Structure 1
Amino acid sequence: MRAIGGLWRWRHNPLRRTSDLVEAWLALVALLLILVVAPVIGSLVGGIAQDALQQSVRDQHASRHLVTATVVRKLDRSPLDTDPETSTSRDLRSRVVADWTAPDGTGHHGTALAGLKSPHHGDHFKIWTDAHGSIVAQPLDPATATTHAVLAGFGAAMLTAGAVEGGRRLILWRMVRRRYARWDQAWDRAGPDWGRTGTGS
């Protein structure tokens, strides 16, 4: 991006090459694209993601129901939990056998995760189910959906900026290679006797 400052210096400089101006203009265009186009693309992607995620939130809240389950008995700790000293969010939930009634009125009996530290027979806890009583994950909340949409928009803007900068560097690399090739051709035309008397130099 230092080449942008060269636009003004190169305007009337007798040492200016066409490639110097092209390089400076290329840097300026890339900067404008990063400052203008990347945020616009990020905003569009974020808006699309927000609409889709909020629709998903509405769909999940419409199809998932919070019901009350009753503990029948507590199950032993999962064999995968080898370290009882590990403090995780699972430590706040216990695997239990429970009974619950689905939104359609049918009774269900099965294994569930209870948000109880020490569940006992007859304790009540909340679980999310579908309309037929099958246990499902908690629906996405609007704040989390918005966070995901913002991250998607930011990621899209960063990818756009990276693509623009990568394109600028690729074009610049090709220009430098072409410049070196022209120098090699000029050197070959000068021949091995350049600078000697009678060569015309």
Structure 2
Amino acid sequence: MKRTRRPTVRMWRWRRNPLRRRIDVVEAWLVLGAWILAVVCALPVGLVTQAAVQHDLDRQRVERQRVTAVLVADAGDRPTVSEADGDLVWADARWTTADGQTRTGLTKVRPDTPAGSRVTVWTDQAGTLAAEPVSPGEARLQSVLAGVLAGAVAGAVVIGGSYGARVVLDRRRMAQWDAEWERVDTRRGGRTG
């Protein structure tokens, strides 16, 4: 059996049509407005987020400095940091801050590192341990991805809101159709002509 394909009628809500109701036109304008608003909102939200993340990562790169620390004890029997870091372990290290204070803290080192070894750590302006700042290329990539994600979320929120409004319009349309069927249904005493 051969299946015939019915032609689709595009943009029917915008054309003159005896079956088109006012609610169909409202829905068409709602969908158009939602897509325009989603694009108009997503772009600035994405750009602002990208700039904020880029600024924060640049600030971290400026504020953090590399410091040489000395291991206080052997790193041998410590538990590993995580699967992603390979076989690095936590070890106690001591370093001197820019204002001359001596501090200690845990840093990641290889398990075979003996006490007294010099290791490189990163500190913030207060002299506490901090993560190594990302490179300019990584910062650019992270900020662009954050901007795209934020823009997509903003657009999705607008489109989701329009979908909720369309659900309300569909319920209203169904109620109108039910009322119309009640009026013309011959089984319930309605007239056909």
CA distance in 1 between partners of 2:28 and 2:189 (Å): 42
Distance 1:93 1:187 in 2: 79
Aligned to 1:33: 33
Question: Please, which of 132, 137, 143 is the counterpart of residue 126 of structure 2?
Answer: 132
Please tell me whether the aligned partners of residues 94 and 119 of structure 1 are also in contact (alpha carbons under 8 angstroms): no
SS of structure 1 residue aligned to 2:72: strand
Inter-partner Cα distance in structure 2 for 1:142 and 1:193: 72
Backbone CA RMSD of aligned residues: 3.3
Greater per-residue helix proportion: 1
Conserved in 1, the CA contact under 8 Å of 2:122 and 2:132? Answer: yes
Overall identity of the aligned pairs, in %: 24
Q: CA 1:143–1:124 in structure 2 vs 1: closer, same or farther (change >3 Å)?
A: farther
Select the residue among 147, 150, 153 that pairs with 2:148.
150
Tell me the distance in 2 between the aligned counterparts of 1:117 and 1:33.
60
Relative to structure 1, the CA distance from residue 157 to residue 192 in structure 2 (aligned partners, 3 Å threshold; closer, same or farther) is closer
Counterpart among 6, 20, 24 of residue 12 in structure 2: 6
Gaps of 5+ in 2: 1-7
Write the distance in 2 (CA, Å) between the matches of 1:30 and 1:193: 38
- Say yes or no: does 1:163 pair with 2:164: no
Q: Which runs of 5+ in 1 are unaligned?
A: none
Runs of 4+ in 1 over 4 A off after TM superposition: 190-195
Distance 1:6 1:143 in 2: 43
Could you state the TM-score of these two structures normalised by the residue count of structure 2? Answer: 0.73
1:48 equivalent to 2:48? Answer: yes
CA contact (8 A) 2:94 2:103 kept: yes
| TM superposition score normalised by structure 1 | 0.71
Q: From the superposition, tell whether residues 137 and 3 of structure 1 become closer, same or farther in structure 2 (CA, over 3 Å).
A: farther
Matching of residue 70 in structure 1 with residue 64 in structure 2: no
Aligned residues: 181
Aligned with 1:119 (options 108, 113, 117) = 113
